């Protein structure tokens, strides 16, 4: 009985160690002009460039962390103060449509409502996973994404990243 328990405990310890990866070094930071907090699994780099969405040019910032080929990112753009609710929703739909395009699907109602969604696609002939959420919060269009080759993007870490989003 003692040997079995010892063997079982050793297996449990090994399983726990395998679940902890030194590649993931979580850190929280304010994003989207401090409208939210997000925990990234590695050092973050931020870039900004203008993008065209639904006929609008927006200054789009992207804060991203890479762990191997997996990417954990938040993209955000301040919306014009005088933009109508319907124009904001149109921008959100256009951004979602571009994300869903690789899967050949149309955005789901849950995704349009700002809820978490998952897409399985092929990128460079490799099965890939994208877990994302697109929302508008306090005048900011936000896109939170964890993506990468299925075998390189641990599902639990991707979901941990997505769950860490705290809106202010």
Rounded Cα–Cα distance for residues 65 and 157 (Å): 13
- Read off the pLDDT of residues 32-68 as tens digits, 9 standing for 90 and up: 999 999 999 999 999 999 988 888 899 999 999 999 9
pLDDT score for 24: 85
How many Cα neighbours within 13 Å face the side chain of 113? Answer: 5
pLDDT band at 17 (very low <50, low <70, confident <90, very high): very low
pLDDT band at 161 (very low <50, low <70, confident <90, very high): very high
Environment class of residue 47 by beta-carbon count within 10 Å: exposed (0-12), middle (13-18) or buried (19+)? exposed
Give every CB contact of residue 96 below 8 A, 6+ residues apart in sequence.
Answer: 107, 111, 112, 134
pLDDT score for 12: 33
Task: Give me the domains of the chain, ranges plus CATH numbers.
Answer: 24-167 (3.40.1000)
- Read off the pLDDT of residues 74-92 as tens digits, 9 standing for 90 and up: 999 999 999 999 999 999 9
Alpha-carbon distance values, 7 to 14, 15, 19, 20 (Å): 11, 12, 18, 20
Do residues 45 and 63 make contact, with C-beta atoms less than 8 angstroms apart? yes
- Read off the pLDDT of residues 111-154 as tens digits, 9 standing for 90 and up: 999 999 999 988 888 899 999 999 999 999 999 999 999 999 99
Rounded Cα–Cα distance for residues 9 and 16 (Å): 11
pLDDT band at 6 (very low <50, low <70, confident <90, very high): very low
CA 90 to chain centre: 21
């Amino acid at each position: 009985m003692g040997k079995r328990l010892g063997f079982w405990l050793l297996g449990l310890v090994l399983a726990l160690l395998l679940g902890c990866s030194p590649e993931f070094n979580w850190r929280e930071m304010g994003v989207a002009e401090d409208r939210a907090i997000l925990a990234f699994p590695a050092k973050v780099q931020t870039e900004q460039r203008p993008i065209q969405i639904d006929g609008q040019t927006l200054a789009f910032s992207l804060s991203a962390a890479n762990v191997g080929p997996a990417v954990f990112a938040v993209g955000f753009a301040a919306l014009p103060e005088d933009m109508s609710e319907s124009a904001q929703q149109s921008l959100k739909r256009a951004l979602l449509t571009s994300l869903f395009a690789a899967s050949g699907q149309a955005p789901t109602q849950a995704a349009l409502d700002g809820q978490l969604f998952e897409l399985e696609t092929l990128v460079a002939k490799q099965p890939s996973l994208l877990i994302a959420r697109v929302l508008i919060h306090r005048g900011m269009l936000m896109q939170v994404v964890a993506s990468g080759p299925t075998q390189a993007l641990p599902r639990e870490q991707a979901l941990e990243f997505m769950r860490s989003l705290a809106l202010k």
